Structure 1
Amino acid sequence: MTAKAPLVSVIIPAWNLWDLTRGCPESLHAHTPGGVLEVIVVDNGSTDATASDLEPLGRSLFGELFRPIRLPENKGFAVASNLGAAQARAGRLLFLNNDTLGTPGWLPPLLRALDDDARLGAVGPLLLYPDTDRVQHCGIAFTPSLATEHLYANFPATHPAVAARRPLQAITGAALLMERTLFADCGGFHEGYLNGSEDLELCWRIRERGLKLACVAESRVYHPESRTPGRRDHDAANAARLNRRCSGCFGPDLHKLAGRDGFDLALTPWLETYLTLPPTRESELLAEHADFEPGRCWQALQADPLWQSGYELLAAFLEEHGRYLEASGVRLLHCYFFPTLPGYRRLALVAAQAGNPDLAGQAARKIEHVTGLLEDPEPLVRKARGLARWARRAGEREVGALYEDWLTDLGLPLEGDGPNDGPDDMGE
């Protein structure tokens, strides 16, 4: 009798970091019924225990449904994923980073999403940080300058905005499920990229065929985010290649996605975008917490993670009572959501008081980087003028007003000699 074919072929590229890699197939085995998954791990020439321990572990967990592929050297994510896809037997492919961890019931919501909507080309789970249960990924958004962001990163997983369905231009390749035939029709992952942007191009190829993308919040997978050494080394080259191959394929949408959920877009002095609550909601929360109580304040920050004053109130209280470790965690979230130089300076100080030199050092490096940007404002001015003109032509009044106000605060006119006349740093 012929064994029943698996429903999904899981393709996991790996390179060293065995302590992380082993947890991925173990979690899939623990939280998925037997016989459903074919697990293909493509070892990109690992030199650690991955080389010797991967196959015995995989066979013990999945038997004949485990298929190791060993490469003599590191060929990168795209090549490894394409090789795994070429040998897959299931009709659906799940591309999965080796540092992800499945949770109970993670797979059925993804399968149902594809079954229930023929217009969906690919779906991904809600990716969460394992130590906080906060969002790592619920979709990729594009800022006005076409930089990519993980939408609502570090929001509590229970926040209503996280679970909302929305039109997405891209989702991450860290956990992506799609039909094998569609993957082949799209040409797979383009192999000219090196560990970055190949998932963005694939998402464009899927949308090019009139299909949609979705993050399925009912499916939850833990992802600590890439710890592969040198993971960001090729970002600039990957972004340039993406811009050449997919110029005009993506458009700014962060302001639109956030606006649907009742949030506003703001700019730092160095033109970094961030989200805020509308001023009326900020004022309402301040009035509600006029009689400050730390527990209530923390609960309010779970419901309204963009309540800027709440972080300041809570951190100041904790610092006043010598609770520097807790205060540094609050300051870190504050700086993540609301990047300011005073905020980074305060984080560096409190982290040092908490005995966390690594966090203090990260804050210090951010201060140095931002200070360097502000010392030579002319590139920022050219960028702001270009984006303001683009927004005006595109009918994006709210976005245009952001950059015009930024220029006004510096006492500068909109018109100038800047060459930047629109979004041009795709994928950075």
Structure 2
Amino acid sequence: MDKTSIIILTHNQIYLTYLCLESIRRHTSVPYEIIVVDNGSTDRTVKYLLGQPDLNLIQNATNLGFAKGCNQGYAAATGDTILFLNNDTIVTPGWLTRMLSALYSDDTIGMVGPVSNYVSGRQQIPVSYQDFSEAEAFSIQHAARYEGKRLDERRVVGFCMLIKREVLAEVGVFDEQYGLGNYEDDDLCLRVINNGYRIQIIYDSFIHHFGHMTMGILHESNLNQLLVLNRDKARLKWGADIHSLIYKEPATITVIVPVRPTAVCLQLQQMVESIGQLADEWIVLGDNVSEEMQACLSDLVCPVINVDQSDSEQPNWSFLRSAATGQYLLWMNPEEWMTPVDARRFAGVKLQLDSLEDGVSILQHRLAGSDLKTVRRTRMVRREADFSWNPAAHEFNLNPAAVIRHTDISFTLKPL
């Protein structure tokens, strides 16, 4: 990471904007740039901003809304990390450093947000101060008490969102159909988690939020009506209530692995490491699985069921259905593995699957020397679906009426 692009929208409220910018300058020790998008201010805000030499100002003649303004700022940003920040906030010591540290601590983390005195959901914490001038002292004590605490969450609120540029490039920017505001942040969060990225709340990063200020801007447009309108837009786009999708439980997966006498422990270990986080349960097929092979599975934190079966090419699916507890069955051979990117994206598929989908097809890359051949295989099937097994292709056969999710997620087969 080289620089964070801080994108702030303004619409009047010059004093709040002043407080926000001054707090950024005072408490930000890592490289950053400030991009302010003014959405048609009619007070002295633009004149004030034009006099600030350390920011890039984009001026709109009218209020184009939160999503459109943020996207304008993103288009002008040059940093590899993007921060969307409300102007009615005051940042505190270490705020950005701690969020950046968490964001880049793992490749699967795509977005983070701070805690605050005024925000919806699990980001809101109780505070002991009465006046915003006391927020800095409170934040120092709070950061010391909760140093290093992170919480995986499905959403963070748009008043302050820190996201990797590469994630935005993958999932897309804010959806501008939401107009002046509301639900565009939930929409973005849903796309982030649907692509398998994790979202975290950073407990030792605190930002004071005045709140109500954006709502004041939206008053003339009838806030309640706008909330209903945008909730309906989100439902129409996603086919269900957006919050029910954000907090939807992921599908559970039983991974079935045939361990043949010729299997190599190194291959099995590589496969387990590549998809271990996706599995809720393992079924190991084989006759007298060696202690060495069992050791490869010993570190798994989910249940492992050993099934003695001499012919792993023709599994007893009736028995396996009853033995498995996962909603879906995923077949993986020991000599196959997924890249971290594909495993992360597969985690996103787990969140999206519903009971109407009978199977999932993925791409198989077969490496033979310098040659690469790619074929599509239906490797995951709903446990209760009507299916048969193709032992030659190592895939499930479903009836023509079955609903199959076709993905471009891939796994690689590379015999030793």
Q: TM-score, normalised by structure 1?
A: 0.49
Cα distance in 2 for residues equivalent to 1:92 and 1:152: 21
Quick one: distance in 2 between partners of 1:9 and 1:244?
32
Specify the alignment match of 1:11 in structure 2.
Answer: 7
CA shift digits 1:302-323 (9 cap, x unpaired) = xxxxxxxxxxxxxxxxxxxxxx
Letter in 2 for 1:217: Y
Aligned residue in 1 for 2:126: 155
C-alpha distance in structure 1 between counterparts of 2:46 and 2:123, whole Å: 37
1:251 maps to which of 220, 240, 244: 244
Question: Which of 163, 181, 193 is residue 166 of structure 2 equivalent to?
Answer: 181
Distance 1:89 1:252 in 2: 32
Q: What are the Cα deviations for residues 389-423 of structure 1, in whole angstroms up to 9, with x where unaligned?
A: xxxx9xxxxxxxxxxxxxxxxxxxxxxxxxxxxxx
Q: Name the SS for the 2:213 alignment partner.
A: coil
Conserved 8 A contact 1:169-1:250: no
Q: 2 CA distance for matches of 1:91 and 1:155?
A: 33
Residue in structure 1 matched with residue 44 of structure 2 by the alignment = 49
Query: 1:102 aligned to 2:91?
Result: yes
Seen in structure 2, the aligned counterparts of structure 1 residues 79 and 54 have a Cα distance that, compared at 3 Å, is: same
Aligned length: 228
**Structure with more of its chain in strand, by fraction:** 2
Unaligned stretches of 5+ residues in structure 1: 129-135, 138-148, 257-392, 394-428
CA RMSD of aligned residues (A): 2.9
Deviation at 1:166?
3.9
Deviation at 1:161, TM superposition (A): 10
Which residue identity is paired with 1:211? Y
Instruction: Give the letter aligned to residue 72 of structure 2.
Output: L
Give the 3 Å change call, closer, same or farther, for CA 20–220 of structure 1 in structure 2.
same
- The 3-state SS of whatever aligns with 1:79 is helix
**Inter-partner Cα distance in structure 2 for 1:252 and 1:161:** 30
Equivalent of residue 192 in structure 2, options 206, 209, 215: 206
CA contact (8 A) 1:6 1:38 kept: no
> Residues of 2 paired with 1:161 and 1:113: CA distance?
13
Q: How much has 1:125 moved relative to structure 2?
A: 1.1
Judged with a 3 Å threshold, the aligned counterparts in structure 2 of structure 1 residues 191 and 155 are, in CA distance, closer, same or farther, namely same
Call closer, same or farther: CA 1:53–1:203 in 2, change over 3 Å. same
Q: Which amino acid aligns with 2:97?
A: P
Offset of residue 14 of structure 1? 0.7
Q: Report if aligned partners of 1:201, 1:246 keep a CA contact under 8 Å in 2.
A: no
Question: How much has 1:21 moved relative to structure 2?
Answer: 1.1
Q: In structure 1, what residue type is equivalent to 2:191?
A: R
Kept after mapping to 1: 8 A contact 2:123/2:156: no
* CA spacing shift, 1:210–1:222, aligned 2, 3 Å: same
Secondary structure of the 1:185 match is helix
Give distance in 2, aligned partners of 1:125 and 1:77.
20
> What amino acid is aligned across from residue 207 of structure 2 in structure 1?
V
2:211 to 219, 222, 225: 225
Q: Distance in 2 between matches of 1:239 and 1:224?
A: 24
Q: Secondary structure at the match of 1:48?
A: coil
Is 1:30 the counterpart of 2:22? The answer is: no
1:31-70 alpha-carbon deviations (Å, 9 max, x no partner)? 1127x110000000101011211121x31xx2xxx10000
Cα pair distance change 1:240/1:107, threshold 3 Å = same
Q: How does 1:227-376 map to 2 (within 5 A)?
A: 227-228=213-214, 229-231=216-218, 232-233=223-224, 234-248=226-240, 250-251=243-244
Q: Are residue 125 (structure 1) and residue 114 (structure 2) matched?
A: yes
Contact 2:39-2:62 at 8 Å conserved across structures: yes
Q: Does 1:72 align with 2:79?
A: no
In structure 2, relative to structure 1, the CA distance for the partners of 1:184 and 1:226 (3 Å cut) is farther
Match of 2:110, SS state, is strand
Residue 46 and residue 38 in structure 1: after superposition, are their counterparts in 2 closer, same or farther (change >3 A)? same
Equivalent AA in structure 1 for residue 75 of structure 2: A
Inter-partner Cα distance in structure 1 for 2:47 and 2:14: 10
Per residue, is there more helix in 1 or in 2?
1
Which structure 2 residue ranges, 5 or more long, are not aligned? Answer: 129-141, 250-354, 356-416
Question: Which amino acid in 2 is paired with 1:197?
Answer: Y
1:75-102 Cα distance to aligned partner (Å, 9 max, x none): 0110000000001001010000011111
Q: How far did 1:155 drift?
A: 2.9
Q: Is 2:81 aligned against 1:81?
A: no
One-letter identity of the residue aligned with 1:12: I
Worse-superposed segment, 115-124 or 198-207 = 115-124
- Determine the C-alpha separation between the residues in 2 that align with 1:75 and 1:89: 22
CA contact (8 A) 1:94 1:178 kept: yes
Q: Distance in 1 between matches of 2:112 and 2:29?
A: 20
Structure 1 residue 251, shift from structure 2 partner: 2.7
Residue 268 of structure 1 aligns with which residue? none
Aligned-pair CA distance for 1:165 = 4.1
Helix, strand or coil at the partner of 2:182? coil
Partner Cα distance (1:162, 1:201) in 2: 30
How far apart are residue 119 of structure 1 and its match? 1.2
- Cα distance in 1 between the residues matched to 2:40 and 2:11: 7
Q: Is the 8 A contact 2:113 2:200 kept in 1?
A: yes
Going from structure 1 to structure 2, the CA distance change for 1:89 and 1:19 (only over 3 Å counts) comes to same
- On the 8 A contact 1:152/1:162 being kept in 2, the answer is no
